[in-house]
Structure 1
Amino acid sequence: MGKSKAALPDLTKVIELKMDFTAARLQRGHLLLKQGKLDEAEDDFKKVLKSNPSENEEKEAQSQLIKSDEMQRLRSQALDAFESSDYIAAITFLDKILEVCVWDAELRELRAECFIKEGEPRKAISDLKAASKLKNDNTEAFYKISTLYYELGDHELSLSEVRECLKLDQDHKRCFAHYKQVKKLNKLIKSAEELIKEGRYTDATSKYESVMKTEPSVSEYTIRSKERICHCFSKDEKPVEAIRVCSEVLQMEPDNVNALKDRAEAYLIEEMYDEGKSLRNLICDT
């Protein structure tokens, strides 16, 4: 059923009742190895070899002991690489370890940190999500996942993850502070989008200006806010303002289709037909 943590106490009790039960000790060694508890796993495999095992059990224990030794060596190399800030090398070593130690939460968190240092936040999120399931009450993982989503501009997923942190510890200071920030930003964005649906473009523009003031340090929110302000000006038939703001967005994201489209509409409103047609052709190519 994949419930290794629940299996370990039963296997341990079996071994207490019958010390020479090699099948139980071998099975516990397998689970400990998968959890990255290498010293404990090696101890079980060595004891299997000392307790008159069957031929198959002896071969398996020897094989697993060799594998455990290899994992020890790789883990030492991964830690050395991390300490030396060689994050690509550390990731390479950790990839190999985690093929065997699939339930090791600490190593997944370490690889996530390497991914963050290498500018690959989505890969870090994947490891941290696994770590949050492998380790009980892992508030730190939920906090990191939330902040990574936030920096990527995904405020809704950020809010969802920080709530998971607060479910585990409602007094968690960093999670609570982050929760207040994300909740405020999320409320502003949702309100702005509702105003756009209602055609209240001036009010929506004001809301998105508040978004930029609320979070000036994460560029993703500035870009998305300006993109939506550009849209509001275009829909509100304010071509001069729309062209200005859309152009600001396109300086940051030259291939932003929404900004290209809205600037094209603004050009047409201004009767700048050549510019409008040129942009529409560019949008089609994009």
Structure 2
Amino acid sequence: MLLNLYEMSQLSDSRKLTTVLLFLLLDLCFKRAESATSQADIDRHLEMGRDLLARGQLSDALTHYHAAVEGDPNNYLTYFKRGTVYLALGKSKFAINDFSRVLELKPDFIAARAQRGQVYLKMGDFDNAEVDLVNVLRMDPNNHDVNFQYARIDPARDQWALCLDVMQRGDFGTAIALLTQLLEICPWSVEIREARAQSYIRIGDRLAAVNDFRSVNRLSHDSTDGYYTLSKILYDLGDSGSALKEIRECLKLDPEHKDCFPFYKKIKKVDKVLMDAQSSLEEQRYADCTQYAEKLIKLEPDVPMMVYNGKQVLCSCLV
């Protein structure tokens, strides 16, 4: 029996509908399978992160927490865990970013707000520390740790103001003592550590200043001026190799930096002459050694430690 046109049309539509439903069903199955696999991967990264963290392998743990965050960017607990790893690594700015993200996703998560407030205090950001810790104490007034940290804010703020006043009056020895005390509360403060570095320079203790400037650069992550200043101090101390290393860090951030680039060319030239002089001495090529040492002295007659380096090599060449 032949089907009429109407029946054929209905049959065709029915087949099309069945095909569409089949594709939708398959798509849904694939998505569920993908979702299950993705969640399994996230759980695996979280578990490995926990295990590595327990073993003290912080950098490796951080890699797995990165992967977990990428897999589920709306899980506030994952951000919190990664933030605590950043804290353990001393990466305060990244920790702040993660704790802030936690509070965007879950504003009433007290632990994240308490942690962020304490990080702000360690960074010397007294105003933001006060805001966070006050909010925590409103919700949990008997929190011993938060009460302790909150009680430190006003004295630390007052001592920082005193440090600035003492430095302005030129009493850098007293300033160093006060700043050292303050850094026990605010060890991640770029401003406070840089103030102590500058105070060390003013009393002529450049080696101590080097340590503080290294900390400043590590905390800042993007301080071209810090790398330039540190490089200049190291160069003046006669350590052209270390000076070259620091100035390269500046150029990684800004390849055409107006101070770093010309200084880099200068250090590179001087360091090469010094290396050539030392190599000639080791290879007992004394005529070349003498030539390079004399060249080094002429290159930097106004930098006493570079002149000293040149004369030291020259004496060895002539012995």
Whether the TM-score (by the shorter chain) exceeds 0.5 is: yes
Among 251, 254, 261, the residue aligned to 1:169: 254
Q: Which residue of 1 aligns with 2:304?
A: 219
Q: Which residue of 2 aligns with 1:9?
A: 97
Among 95, 111, 114, the residue aligned to 1:26: 114
CA distance in 2, matches of 1:22, 1:191: 61
Q: Which has the larger radius of gyration?
A: 2
2:275 partner amino acid: K
Displacement after TM superposition at 1:45 (Å) = 1.7
Displacement after TM superposition at 1:47 (Å) = 2.0
Identical-pair percentage: 38
Check if 1:140 corresponds to 2:225.
Answer: yes
2:121 partner amino acid: L
Q: Which residue of 2 aligns with 1:78?
A: 163
Superposition map of 1:1-286 within 5 A: 1=85, 2=88, 3-51=91-139, 53=140, 55=142, 57=143, 59-234=144-319
Q: Which residue of 1 aligns with 2:46?
A: none
2:214 partner amino acid: K
Q: Which residue of 2 aligns with 1:264?
A: none
Q: Which ranges in structure 2 are unaligned for 5 or more consecutive residues? A: 1-84
CA distance in 2, matches of 1:203, 1:16: 66
CA distance in 1, matches of 2:314, 2:200: 34
Displacement after TM superposition at 1:49 (Å) = 2.7
**Structure 1 residues 22 and 183, CA gap change in structure 2 (3 angstroms):** same
**3-state SS of 2:302 partner:** coil
**3-state SS of 2:305 partner:** helix
CA distance in 1, matches of 2:241, 2:177: 32
Displacement after TM superposition at 1:19 (Å) = 4.1
Displacement after TM superposition at 1:54 (Å) = 5.2
**Structure 1 residues 47 and 116, CA gap change in structure 2 (3 angstroms):** same
- Determine if contact 2:277/2:313 at 8 Å carries over to the other structure: no
- Counting matched residue pairs gives 231
CA distance in 2, matches of 1:221, 1:9: 44
**3-state SS of 1:228 partner:** helix
**Structure 1 residues 19 and 189, CA gap change in structure 2 (3 angstroms):** closer
RMSD after superposition:
1.7
**Structure 1 residues 196 and 16, CA gap change in structure 2 (3 angstroms):** closer
Displacement after TM superposition at 1:26 (Å) = 1.6
Displacement after TM superposition at 1:112 (Å) = 0.6
TM-score, normalization: structure 1?
0.76
**Structure 1 residues 207 and 70, CA gap change in structure 2 (3 angstroms):** same
Displacement after TM superposition at 1:150 (Å) = 0.6
Q: Which ranges in structure 1 are unaligned for 5 or more consecutive residues? A: 235-286
Displacement after TM superposition at 1:202 (Å) = 2.5
Deviations 1:214-238 (A, max 9, x none): 101111122222222222222xxxx
**Structure 1 residues 185 and 13, CA gap change in structure 2 (3 angstroms):** closer
Displacement after TM superposition at 1:109 (Å) = 1.1
1:182 partner amino acid: I
CA distance in 2, matches of 1:197, 1:18: 65
- Determine if contact 2:190/2:216 at 8 Å carries over to the other structure: yes
CA distance in 1, matches of 2:128, 2:235: 39
Q: Which residue of 1 aligns with 2:34?
A: none
CA distance in 1, matches of 2:313, 2:98: 58
Q: Which residue of 2 aligns with 1:275?
A: none
**3-state SS of 2:99 partner:** helix
**3-state SS of 2:187 partner:** coil
CA distance in 2, matches of 1:134, 1:103: 7
CA distance in 1, matches of 2:112, 2:315: 66
**Structure 1 residues 209 and 10, CA gap change in structure 2 (3 angstroms):** closer
1:212 partner amino acid: I
1:10 partner amino acid: D
Displacement after TM superposition at 1:91 (Å) = 0.9
CA distance in 2, matches of 1:12, 1:226: 56
